[in-house]
Chain A
Amino acid sequence: MNWDRRAFVKFAVGAVVGLQASPLVPKLMDDVAIWTQNWSWVPDPETGSVAFAKSINPDTLTGVKTRLVKARLSGKRVIRVEGDPEHPLSQGGVIAADASVPQKAYYNAMRADAPMMRKEGVRGRVPAAEALKKVAEKLGELAKAGKASQVAIIADDPYSVTGEMLMRLAAAYGTPNLVFMPSAKQTLALAGQLLFGQNNIGFDLLNSSYTISFGTPLLEGFGAPVATRKAFAAWRKDPMNRATLVQVEPRSSVTASQADLWLACKPGTEGVMAFAIANLIIQSGQADSAVASAAGFDQFKAMLAGMYGLDKASQDTGVSAAKIKAVAEGFMKAPKAVAVCGPGNSGDPGRLFDFMAVLALNAVKGNLGKPGGVVLRENLPWKALGEPMAMPKTPSLDGSDDRIMGLDNAYDLAVAALSGKPYPLEALIVVGCNPAFSGPQAKVMQKLIDQIPFVVSVSEYLDETALMADVVLPAASFLECWGDCATPYGASQAFYGVHQPLIGIFPQAKSQGDWVLALAKELGGKAAAALPFADTKAALAARTAAMGGLDALAKKGYWMQAKPAYGFAFKTASGRLELTPQGLGGKLPVPAACIAPSKERPLLMAGIPSLRTGAGQQPLSPYQIKILDNVTLAHKDQLVAEINPKTAHDLHLGEGDVVEIASAAGKIKVGLHLYHGAAPGMVFVPVGLGHTAFGMYLKDKGANFFEAVEVAADPGSGLPQWALTPVSIAKAGGVSHV
């Protein structure tokens, strides 16, 4: 053995390897990693006394219990938002949108934290008084010049206290152009009004043993999503007494995959399916007696037999006659069965034709006012904020004056204002919504906001609309302010939720209602007289006077009708079920003229709803982005659309191809995922991604579905409708790694 260079190297290498084999290095590495927790700038949650408070998330209507640490920062801090086990709707459950509320509330890159104003094109923070004065001055000038009607207000929820305040403000100020974002609540109320003379109806899902869902995402955000999921869980609880769920829609969605039977119908034929089933029941002589005595029954029966006979319906819907027949039999035989309609998969408010067909089917089944059927809800015992106010006589831009129940149409308002006919808009106030992203038709709304000389956004976030606005008034999150929300879509019992300020994050952020009241005060005169409340809390106290006092209500968090009310009364002019509604001039409901594919745009585009992405009304938190799978958002933030392999093959497209989906209204770039569950001839796009605001966690992730949708007024309700959009697909180059 020689002790030379080579021998030394051998020894040294052995020594290094030996040291590596000892715990010294891995332990040091581990400790260094743990040491990073102790860096002075890493936030270290302090200990404090923990308290719980009840609240409600008005976006999801989930009753939540917030875990607070007191005596920190500006008073308290929310640690966690969790489900409230005592809440009748959510029963302790939450969805991702609820769990990530604190993340969004505290994330100051998203939030509008102070009033802002654009001066010479540059947006900067200003004192609240200055911002309000500017808005009031502008509105005052317009009113003085006789242009009050040229001010439009777009808001989120007509049933909230802010909604009612805005109605009073608009009436007092003198503008007919107050529009609310379209919702399926409006379509259901209208369909109920036309057929039954009742506009406050719901579905008793929990007690149903056989449910047919007509094209509505029952498990992806229907009504109060947690409550609907709880009902579904109850259906599945007892394997020996399992309730049946049938889903009718063209895509194998989450609901379809969880259903006992999925009827994969052709796009836009859900209403046809409902009438086909109703026809089979009538033909079998098992229709309810109330139907036989309904106004227009003979005409209705003849129409069903002529247009929705089994063979024709099978051909129209693409579902085999045997399957339709089996479902009709199952539905008829089930003691407690209900047919459900609701918001469409694209986040649209649904077609009136479909809703009427589904409600008529329920009437034919004879489940009106029965357990597990369609039920009447009590009216909420709330009080109006004041005497009714006369609406301005100027015709509204959206044409709602001529519609039954005067339903708004934000899209028609935008189109009319852009064309300047009959008159243009001089100012726009957006409250609690983000039309520049969620439209309807985002591009059109962006154009409108761009064109209007003065735009005000009352928003919790610096969203797309706020970024375009001249004045931004920061709204508080529901954890920071007083506010309310009313009965979720389709619920069987009337419900009213109240939230109160639990924490203070941004001192300058106020509730939307507080901003409306402050503006009314600044405007003075009639506007101030119409809203004589010191703050939203005072307005809520007046509104809830018959509900046992605001403090008790806030402590409990909600008011709810004790139990579903069974029994049904028709309040139509004839006092009967009206199958040929007088509201439609005694005519039968006719299928909505679907926007049909053409040679130029051979495919139909629809949305993919999801509890993870929501319907696009609310931004996603960083946490929600992390839980998206790679068939929604692929590598490099590429949005993924679904297409049937056969359709893809016909178009010479393959898995992962990056394509441009183009409609007459706009285009988006997506990666393709071949999915056998997608109906041929269609392309399905996730809804709610593709923001251009909100900072690094949300900005530029995916593409915005609402930029490509084509909107048309529903011929029945007049509400904007974008369930299906004809599109073309062309390769845009590149491949996404789906």
Chain B
Amino acid sequence: MNAPAAIEFDHVKYAVNGRAILHDVSLRIEPGETVVFLGRSGAGKSTAMRMVNGLIQPSGGRVLVNGTPTSQHDLVRLKRSCGYVIQEIGLFPHLTIAQNIGLVPHLEGWPPAKIAARTEELLHQVGLDPADYRQRRPRELSGGQRQRVAIARALAADPAILLFDEPFGALDPITRVEMQRQFLQLSRDLHKTALFVTHDVREALRLASRVAVFDSGRLVLVAKPDELRHTTDTMARDLMAAAGELD
């Protein structure tokens, strides 16, 4: 018997008020893969991703996580088994950096000493000195530092799946490359299954083990970054040409 995919989209459809946002998306994502959803704004990438942690349910078809449809998962367990990082960062402005990172472990009822130790470890892991940053508030940090904290927070309870929704979209180009490097480092070290949404072709080519290209709610192409450079698909060629990445 085949091992279940880490994440599987099985003929997934999604519509809001009769307007179709996703049409019949099917995709298998194996454990440990980093799959990047690439496409223009409004192509349905984020919508597809938000189905994995059960923030939304498909209108048709199924999304399976570890072989079980998300509709049959305990939603709280499912959400906490996915680390989630978004462009708006979404740190809680009234909590300290340490409290932000330790929030999911706190909700999970970890003892305070264990939360503190885990927070230290994570701050080190994302390259922030705990002694310096622990007690600060999000507004005292730069955009890049805040996004590091958001990544640490997503990793806090050691989730099996990481979901990144255009996490580096608002960062300046240099910080962005730094963060991409950090992401690669972490995904190598931690061997987690990761979904990454972006409209930046270079970012996709850089981070992905496979790229899934979305256009107007359809999954038009799934390819390894190398294959994508030689693609014959018109839509994908347009994307690549626009980024100057066509061979």
Q: Do A and B bind each other?
A: no
Which residues of chain A have a CB within 8 Å of any CB of chain B?
Answer: none
